[in-house]
Amino acid sequence: MLKRCMLHENDWICEGRDVGERLDKFLMPKLVGLSRVKLQVAIHEGLVMLNGHATKPSQQLHAGDQITVRIPDPIVGGESPDAEAMALDILYEDESLLVVNKPAGLVVHPGAGNSHGTLVNALLHHCKSISGVGGPGRPGIVHRLDKETSGCIVVAKSDTIHSALAAQFASRLTEKAYLALVVGVPRMPHGTIDGAIGRHPIHRQKMAVVERGRASLTTYRVLASEGTQALVECHPKTGRTHQIRVHLKHLGHPVVGDPVYGRRGAFSRHFLHAWKLAFSHPATNAKVSFTAPLPPDFPEWARVALPAIKPPPTRFRAARQ
């Protein structure tokens, strides 16, 4: 059977008669209060890992497999947030989903110290129906952005659409482009940052590039620069916690205003923006893409330079700093 591993209360090792069982089928009785649909979404979102890697609900278990479950409380239970009338910058909306340009400073869903005034509160007021797969605390939320990160975020209006979008994110079929204002100007105008990410060995609240972390890959190119700052376009090929911020720190050019991986200085937030998002619309299978304009708090030189930027080269070569 799957038994608890002493390393963590939510880690198990597969053995005995449960070898060959589907991952989702076996975990169902272990995760009380979680429906099979919600569990499958959690697996697609990478909240359940098999031997340190993202997997799929139908994956068969083998002897010695280690299953790690990191499902946050909101997906398991909790009270439903209140609907609140708030302005939303909606880039696109239909009967299946909507794409919102989230402003910096707006928390995505309720949590400790943020029970009101979140994107979820606004969505509950705006939408007549919304997906409940993410749990009472995260209706409609397919993916998240940090509080200080602005830009594109997609919201599902039904459980079916939510599950389909979550599967695309988990399988890395979505395309994401971020804009970061960084300290200094990278020596290489474009490149690839290939560094495994895990918990910082000393400062456990932070992430870092570590030897035994999870494989992480980000491509980047410098779009413009002014003095001691540069505007950098980043494409995360994996979805690790704080990936872009950690990788740019590792490159030697942390995001401006980032108090965790750089310095806050005189800035009110870290300057990271979810610029573009593309995916296959689950209802039509058509490829759709969205762009969130650069916020006004970015420096004028960056906002002026952006419209003149040419498409990226077809290949990036590895950066060596």
Catalytic residues: 146
Strands 272-280, 150-156: pairing is parallel
CA 101 to chain centre: 15
- Both tokens assigned to 8: 């963590």
Residue of 309, 313, 178 whose CA lies nearest to 237: 178
The per-residue DSSP string of 9-31 comes to TTEEE--GGGTT-BHHHHHGGGS
- Both tokens assigned to 253: 């050019």
CA angle 93, 132, 120 (to 5 degrees): 60
Question: CA-CA distance, 153 to 89, in Å (whole number)?
Answer: 11
- Both tokens assigned to 4: 């608890």
Question: CA-CA distance, 6 to 18, in Å (whole number)?
Answer: 20
Question: CA-CA distance, 254 to 90, in Å (whole number)?
Answer: 30
- Both tokens assigned to 248: 């740019």
Residue of 135, 124, 120, 117 whose CA lies nearest to 72: 135
Give all strands (DSSP E) within the chain, no chain letters. Answer: 3-4, 11-13, 48-50, 53-54, 66-69, 90-93, 97-102, 150-156, 175-183, 190-194, 197-199, 207-209, 217-226, 229-236, 272-280, 287-291
